[in-house]
Amino acid sequence: MHIEQFRDLCLAKKGVTEHFPFNKTTLVFKVMDKMFALTDLLNWEQGLPKVNLKCNPEKALELREQFEGITPGFHMNKKHWNTLIINVADVSDVLVKQLINHSYDLVINGLPKKSQKELQNL
């Protein structure tokens, strides 16, 4: 997977915006002002792409046990975030897409009903 593919997958979601709130290299994707994905562009440039995605705590543990390329979220709440090492043999593009969807859905489901309705109307 390339950074453009990752970015396109995130931006294809309804209501998603991209930001650089921390520094000039950490790209953050938000829905309704809540983060669901982030990555450091320097890692991609160095050929070691990684992304942080929100994850259900039980599923996060299962994924870390099952996949070598999934670890506790770097610089994040380890209970709710995973780091995916992209292009590692056991982390396929299909899995990355599934986990982007899971992260996005978790954030959406955690929003107040009013915000969920606003998102539906976009």
Per-residue pLDDT of the chain (122 residues; tens, 9 = 90+): 999 999 999 999 999 999 999 999 999 999 999 999 999 999 999 999 999 999 999 999 999 999 999 999 988 989 999 999 998 879 999 999 999 999 999 999 999 999 999 998 88
What is the structure's pLDDT at 74?
Answer: 86
Where is 71: in which H helix or E strand? Answer: strand 70-72
Q: Rounded to 5 degrees, what are φ and ψ at 81?
A: -135, 140
Q: What is the CATH number of the domain that holds 45?
A: 3.90.1150.30
The tally of domains found in the chain comes to 1
Q: In the structure, how many helices (H) and strands (E) does the chain have?
A: 5, 6
Sheet arrangement for strand 50-54: 16-19, 26-31, 34-40, 50-54, 81-85, 70-72
- CB-based contacts of 121, cutoff 8 Å, min separation 6: none
Q: Which residue range forms the structural domain that includes residue 9?
A: 3-120
